[in-house]
Structure 1
Amino acid sequence: MRGGFARPAIDLRHTLPLLLALVLALTLSGCGLFSPPAPVEAPPPVAASEPEPVASEPEVASAPEVASEPEVPSEAKAAPRKLHFPPIRHRRPAPPPPAPPSTPPAPAPAPLVTTRVLERGTYRTLLDSKVQKTDGKVVGRAVDLIAGPGGRPVQMIVNLQGFMGVGDRKAVFPWSAVRVNTQPTTPAITLALGPGQAPVPIVPKPGGGAQQPALDEPSPTRLPILDATIERANGAKVGRVVDVLLDAAAGPLAVVLDVSGTLESRQTIAAEWSALHFVTKNHTLRAELEMTEQQLDASPRYVADQPVRAVKPFAAESPAFNSRGAK
């Protein structure tokens, strides 16, 4: 016999009817629990008084509806959409502000001298040029030109040659008998003497009393050009004449001036004959040329056997001479 309390013996004959009655009662009560409850009637609505109309705010216009893209069936595979970027519009740069009005450029300075080109074949030099007669016989060489009032050539001095240099003498010929050959291969000057145009020898006149100037010396009406000193109106020296350029009509074109003043650095220019002014001072005919030192420096240099650029002061208005030097 084990220790502990003795368990009472259960008699199924008495407990089974009780269990069945309990299960039946529970089943009946469960049907009532699971049935839906009866609907509850809602109370009738209470009539509310209508509110007074209030001024409504103005309706805001709604944005326009955008048409939606058509729907693509879900079965079809949607194609990738291309990205569309708006065009880039570059803003035009603002135009630059107008430049402030600038002062007009200063006018170019006026030239100091004007030049005229004398091509070879259009002129011959006077000094030491061969002089021939119309038959082609050379009789001597030219040594000077005598100018009268106004610069008109009146005579030419020729050194007549003797035999082997013995008996050379100077003689004066009228300028109207002078002909100029511009071709370099021919004698430069031809004497076409007419009736009564015999040469006049340069010799001192005998006799007492006051000695008259020789034909090759300056006088109030005569000016030997070679070796003459050209001055300005104020008496300042411009240069010394070393040669004269003649055209085909025996008209003087220009004088060659030595403007250096020294033999070490000799500089020569060709000044136009029309730029010379012939005046009488101290009972002597003189030639003047109004050219400053700056104008002399700006003048092109004279070079023999090359085209000559004859100069004159800028805007100088001098009387023009024709082929015979007449105004």
Structure 2
Amino acid sequence: MTGGIPHRGDASPIDLHAPARACRADSAFNAAAGFMLRVAAFIVAIVRTLRALRLAASLSIAAALALSGCGLMPKQVPAPIVEHSYIPAPDEAGSGEPEEPLPAVQAPEPASSVKPAPAPKPKRRVVKPKPPEPAVAPPPEPPEPPPPPQIISTRIMQHDQLHGLLDAEVQRPDGKVVGRAVDMYIDGSAKPKLMMVNLAGFLGVGDRKVNFPWTAFRFTPNSKTAPITFVPPPPPAKGKPADPVPKPQPVAEAPANFMQLVDSTVSQKNGSRIGRVVDVLVDAQAQPQALVLDLSSSLAGDKRHVAANWGDLHVLSRNKQWQLQMDFNDAQMKAAPTYSPEQPIKIVSPIVPAPGSSASAASAPASSGAAGAGATGAPGAASAQVQASGARPAR
């Protein structure tokens, strides 16, 4: 058919389906417009909700609501697929030139794979061993200093073994107290010879000091009564005359070779003063055991008494004057324990060091002794030394 109005049977398949496609496009546009309106209304509601809440947490709620709003979109029904056979016109079929085959798409050659750089090996930390520290030997401990040499020796006795002579009561055999002992006399060998007794009068009237032989008394240090008892001589044996009863002798008639002991001064070898005799401690056998020395240098100072051993006492005669001497030095007297009537009696004796150990220390005492000897030989020094000794000769 050429020219004129085309008939219905001559219409092409494309012209027949055009209205249907236009109708479907309009319906799709309407659906999309309605969906956009819904989404806009939903977004406005979300904005209002966010403004009302004004919290950061509302963002998560808005996201959840936005995700849930996707379910409100209408599902688009896919258009039905209608198969039509299309027969091209002869003009369309003849005029077509054979199409050239498209060149085969060559697959791009894979780029040469770049080998990854090897991972750097971890550096191994080389720990060099520390050189061993040289062992430091501890310094040798200094040897303990030797103990100081012993300079005094001490023996301990109790007060029931010894009793002081000064002011001790003297009684007769019947127990009657007749006086008190006040002093004693010794000879050149330091042996006791006489005891001076103060015989009591009536109410203190008629007291007199007399001397009795030392052998006329018995000592009982632990007695509860008088510690000194006057003992008359024993009855004579048959055929022998009776011993005379000791009679009191006046103090002025004491022998000149006897020396009073109490209140005498005791000195060292170099002439230095040690102390003053204040008492004598006698045991039960009437043997003196110790001299109680007052070491204080003045009457107003604190008094310190020391019990010095009787065996270390020496009686010397210088310029016809009796002197008492002991072998103590200053260090020994400082180390001596103090004598106290309330404590056990500690009798002190000096220890003379060995000649080898005292050779260095002997120079100072020797020089001081030489100075003392020179002073003694000087004119008028003898009388000064007698006054310093304080010894009282027997009268």
The question of 1:268 aligning with 2:305 is answered: yes
Paired residues of 1:275 and 1:316 also in contact (CA < 8 A): no
Q: Which residue of 1 aligns with 2:369?
A: none
Whether the 8 Å CA contact 1:169–1:201 is kept in 2: the answer is: no
Alignment partner of 2:189: what SS? helix
The match for 1:246 is 282
Change (3 A) 1:254 1:114: same
Determine if the alignment matches structure 1 residue 180 to structure 2 residue 219. Answer: yes
Displacement after TM superposition at 1:239 (Å): 0.6
Match of 1:202 in 2: 250
Q: Distance in 1 between matches of 2:221 and 2:137?
A: 63
Question: Is the counterpart of residue 144 in structure 1 residue 183 in structure 2?
Answer: yes
Shift of 1:111: 2.6
CA RMSD of aligned residues (A): 2.6
1:61-72 aligned at under 5 Å gives the runs none
Partner of 1:86: none
What is the CA–CA distance in structure 2 between the aligned matches of 1:182 and 1:120, rounded to whole Å?
8
Distance 2:220 2:137 in 1: 66
The partner residue of 1:162 within 181, 184, 201 is: 201
Measured in 2, the distance between the counterparts of 1:150 and 1:197 equals: 26
In 2, Cα distance between the equivalents of 1:281 and 1:196?
A: 36
Moved more, 245-254 or 165-174: 165-174
Q: Does 1:290 align with 2:327?
A: yes
Q: Identity of aligned pairs, percent? A: 38
Which structure 1 residue ranges, 5 or more long, are not aligned? 5-95, 205-213, 318-327
* Cα distance change, pair 203–143 in 1 and its aligned pair in 2 (3 A): closer
Q: Whose helix proportion is higher, 1 or 2?
A: 2
Q: Aligned-pair distance for 1:120?
A: 2.1
Residue 150 of structure 1 aligns to a residue in which SS? coil
Q: Distance in 1 between matches of 2:353 and 2:215?
A: 29
Give the structure 2 partner of residue 153 of structure 1: 192
SS in 2 for 1:297: helix
How many residues end up aligned between the 2 structures?
A: 215
Q: TM-score of the superposition, structure 2-length normalised?
A: 0.50
Question: Is the 1:230–1:287 contact (alpha carbons within 8 Å) kept by the matching residues of 2?
Answer: yes
- 8 Å CA contact 1:171, 1:199 repeated in 2: no
Matched with 1:134 is 173
Q: Give structure 2 stretches of 5+ with no counterpart.
A: 1-89, 95-134, 234-242, 355-395
Runs of 4+ in 1 over 3 A off after TM superposition: 96-104
Larger radius of gyration between Structure 1 and Structure 2 = 2
The structure with higher relative contact order (CA 8 Å, sep 6+) is 1
TM-score of the superposed pair, with normalisation by structure 1: 0.60
What residue identity is the alignment partner of 1:225? L
Residues 166, 316 of structure 1: CA spacing in aligned structure 2 closer, same or farther, 3 A cutoff? farther
Shift of residue 316 of structure 1? 7.8
For residue 282 of structure 1, report the CA deviation from its aligned partner: 1.7
Q: Write the distance in 1 (CA, Å) between the matches of 2:306 and 2:314.
A: 17
Counterpart of 1:149 in 2: which secondary structure?
coil
CA shift at 1:105, angstroms?
2.7
- The letter of the residue matching 2:230 is L
Q: Does 2:348 align with 1:300?
A: no
> Does structure 1 retain, via aligned residues, the 8 Å contact 2:217–2:229?
yes
CA distance in 2, matches of 1:303, 1:262: 20
Quote the residue 2:152 is aligned against: 113
1:142 touches 1:159 (CA, 8 Å); kept in 2?
A: yes
1:45-84 superposed matches below 5 A: none
Q: Secondary structure at the match of 2:311?
A: helix
Q: Which amino acid aligns with 2:309?
A: E
Residues 142-166 of structure 1: CA deviation (Å, up to 9, x unaligned) = 0111111211111111111111111
Whole-Å separation in 2 of the counterparts to 1:222 and 1:97: 75
**1 CA distance for matches of 2:268 and 2:147?**
27
Report deviation, 1:99.
Answer: 7.0
Alpha-carbon offset, residue 230 of structure 1: 0.7
Kept in 1, the 8 Å contact 2:216–2:246? The answer is no
